[in-house]
Structure 1
Amino acid sequence: MALRRAFSWSAIESIGSRGFDLVALWLVMNALPEAEIALFGVATAAIFLFNLLFIAPETSLLRYQKQWQDEGVLPSCLGAFVGFNTIKLLIHVLGLVGVALSEGVNGVFYAILFSLTTQLLQMAEIARIYHRMDMQQSFVAKLEIASKLAWMIACSSVFYCRTAAWYFAIYTTWAFLFSIIWIGVLYRKTHFFFTLRGMIRTVYETVKGFSLWSHLAGVVTLFLYNANVLFLQWFGNVEIADIALMTSVNKTANLFFVIPMFIQGFVPVMLANTNNQAGGMREVLLGNGAISALQLASFLLAGSLLGQYFGVASDNLAEYYGLGVWVCCGIFVLNVTRPISTFLMMKAPPWRVFVFIFLPVSVVAIFAFGYGAFKYQALGVVVASCAIYCLLAFMLCINLILFRTSKRR
């Protein structure tokens, strides 16, 4: 009963907060001029380059929080994660100052600023993971929906200041304020504490045991989500209008990752709080598959309307729909298998999951996106997206079968 209630609150959080995200994205895509949308798309697509460097050891809470709580070391571990994230934020600030002084405010500056903002959100994620693993989904849902409502209201200001610079400014401010709120809540609940020696020890132990491989898998996944825009700019020999259209396709198609990502994120909670893990995974996969199919059907039936909603010009709607179908078909296939990725990370050796699934897929992706962009421009990168998503799904299924076969021996 408690698990079902937690799942219900998680669903409310996902639907509510993502609904506000949808409206916020509509505000941004309809307010910004074409050149600003292209800048917005390239700066945000480059996030995986920064994430490659900035590991997130707090993801180990998904696997070890209950163990650390029983051992009485959880406050120390939480303090170590907060301290480590603070150091990452300071590095970003130094990078912003360095770029501003040497090159001025340009695309690199905005890419670093966007990375800084994601690190602020990652700081808040420490508190969110703690509360979710502690079965406090109702509290997380209420605070998250309130924060996303505030974000949606803030985004309405983009209609009055139609620049990517303003968007990044309000995004960073919003993330800063709510990260402070989340960390304050976490401190009140846990009274976490920080020591430099404790931080070094905790980060080292978690990174070598779990977080490094989870982080690298996340970096590869983020790269796959955004590679079509980046490779089209790097190798496609296209106009700004093409980059802007590809940004619209990518940002709207990636919305279909949202609900399956929420379901995937519930897998560690389910594994930690139920004895019937096989039955739980079966329900998760069936429900996730049904939702993924409905999402694909919605784009096939109403993709052009979605393009109009997000400000795509009527002359470009046919191209938007054609490109979007390729991306959404690949997203559907990958979404069906998303919970398998988290299950394997929780149950199998994490290094094996990265080395035998994510690493080979990323290598193939680099060549597929590069060739597709160079040879066929926008069509090439969306076909590459579809093929790579299908390849990743196939690799996840094969490795799940191998894992279960080895367990039966």
Structure 2
Amino acid sequence: MQHNVSRELFDKVILPVYSPAQFIPVRGEGSRIWDQNGVEYIDFAGGIAVNALGHCHPRLIKALQEQSQKLWHVSNVFTNEPALMLAQKLIDHTFADRVFFANSGAEANEAAFKLARYYATKKFHPYKTKIISFYQSFHGRTFFTVSVGGQAKYSDGFGPKPADIVHVPFNDLNAVKAVMDDHTCAVVLEPVQGEGGLASATPEFLNGVRLLCDEYNALLIFDEVQCGMGRTGSLYTYQQYNVIPDILTSAKALGGGFPISAMLTTDQVSSVMHVGVHGTTYGGNPLACAVGCEAFDIINSPDVLSGIEKRRAIFIAKLEEINDKFNVFREYRGKGLLIGAELQPEFHDKARDFLNVATEYKVMILNAGSNVLRFTPSLIISEDEIQEGMNRFAKAVEKVVNA
């Protein structure tokens, strides 16, 4: 039986945990998308910071096509060449000595939290299990990661939560000191909070947390699922702070649109692990890693990384032009092309309204909470596309303001 593939079909067949736009994208190229009716949209959402090279980048297509004719899947009973190549690239360009591949940011974070507890209990004592996290943080949707995340709305209602997780205010070093003790196995944070409103960590805060972790033999985990892979102007955001974590998680842009994630760590931390302690069926599969290798090489290049701040400046300038007319933004947040525009108090709780109206004017944006608009475009979006998209967005802002 053939069904009409429409937005109405979504409401019938998909679990009602999303509220997608009324149009259905069917084709993308660069920073533009076309729907079922051939209507074109400019994409400032980037699949939530995933499509760092836009849609259907020719080099990623070539890598996927070539690998698809060689080897798709062998499981982790065997290794494969693309996985080893991508792991070596990550090690060569970061602090890491070891890599674990998975399929999503949540899975990479799950592995990181399990590793942190396993390391602490093996190296120190069985009660060294406390994880310190931060309000408004987001680390994934598995039960462990959503509990470590600092937004109760995502973890409430599912029964007893994993124990020994403490949340404190972000960028508040004294709050961390107040709960830090010899039972702490890890402090986990996003250098730029992705879903929590795009607040950036201060250098003083990150340096202070690093020193506390060293003092209490706790591991420092950086979740760079959203802010990593060139998004903020360097390969990984920790490199801008000169603060080195013990574990780092990466996903989203790592595959340029193909699902893949990685947990990076050191020889010292990984030394407690052994065969069978953790695993995944699809992690490190040849298709994902082949695409990841190509995406890594493109993103980790001077041409791409050097152009991110220039593009950010154009976005901010256009936002300021809009603000001069409509006075809707209170401040701008984030780093690089992880851009947040906090709404003025009179527009609080209306971020989703701006997002929805923007689609009416054929531009795709995001929100980060109910008070912040978020822009995570391709890292190689053209200046003309930024200008055109922001002109469309200005019309959407005008409609919301005058509603």
TM-score calculated relative to the size of structure 1: 0.27
TM-score calculated relative to the size of structure 2: 0.28
Higher percent of residues as helix: 1
